[in-house]
Structure formats: C-alpha cells, structure tokens
Amino acid sequence: MHTAAAPRARQLHPAMAYQRVHIESQIGGASTPHRLVSMLFEGALEAMHNAKGAIVGKNIEAKGRAIARAVNIVDGGLRVSLDMNSGGKLAQDLHALYGYILQRLTYANLKSDVNAIDECIRLLQPIREAWNSIEPGRPVAN
C-alpha cells in the first residue's frame, strides 16, 4: 500500500508530470466513451504529425517516441476498442485498416519515411471526421 508519506521510488520530470496531469484532466473531462475515442484519434494524428516533423528535422529519438506513441494509440486504444462481436463488417474492416496503419508506421520508423506517415494520416483523418460527425447530442444536418 502506498501512502503520501512513503518515499517515491522515481520522481517525474516536471514536464512529464505536467503532461500527465494535462492528459488525466482531459480524460476526466471526457464524459462519454465517444469523447474518449475522439481523443484517441486526435492523439494518434498529433503523434503522426510530430513524427513527420522529427523526420524532417532528423531527430531520430523524437521520431521514435512519436511513432511509438501513435502505434500505442492505434493498437492499444483504437483497435482494442472495436466491438468485434457486434460490430460486424465495419469492425472487421477497421481492425484490418488499423493493422495496415501499424505496418506503415513501423515502416516509417525503420526507413524514416514521411510518405508512409502521410498515408497513415490520410487513412485515419476521414475516420476521425466520420466519428466526430456521429457525436451523441450533435444536431443532425438536413
């Protein structure tokens, strides 16, 4: 059992601590599962854009971190949140698409290929837009 008085085995860097608090406050503010998935899309796309910038800037370490973040979000967030039992063909197609995106991100990481990341962004962007368009409580366009 951990207590406030127990010494911390590892101190977080102030920037990492700030980022963690920021993420936790956003998740706490995500009152619906729909919003959480929207945040996953946003995070994955942001990480992909960061990876592109790191490749252009020849920052290998930042590229690796950004691509790893995108992979974790796509695989451990978007892909695992699919309901494969009742989602039908759509869930199967998205599962396969996310798998392809993961392959392309791995390739982009190995080859520092901006075009592969651009492809992933082009594939994910319309899904994010479609997801956001079905937000519960959003007025229906006529």
Q: What pLDDT does 85 receive?
A: 95
Cα gap 96→90, rounded to integer Å: 10
User: CA distances (Å), 112 to each of 43, 78, 104, in order?
Assistant: 20, 24, 11
Q: Give yes or no for a contact between 55 and 120, defined as CB atoms under 8 angstroms apart.
A: no
Q: Determine the pLDDT at residue 33.
A: 86
Give dist(CA 72, CA 112) in Å, integer.
18
Q: What is the pLDDT of residue 60?
A: 97
Across the 142 residues of the chain, what is the mean pLDDT of every consecutive 10-residue run? 37 50 50 88 98 98 98 96 95 98 98 98 98 79 59
pTM for this prediction: 0.77
**Joined tokens for residue 59:** 């920052």
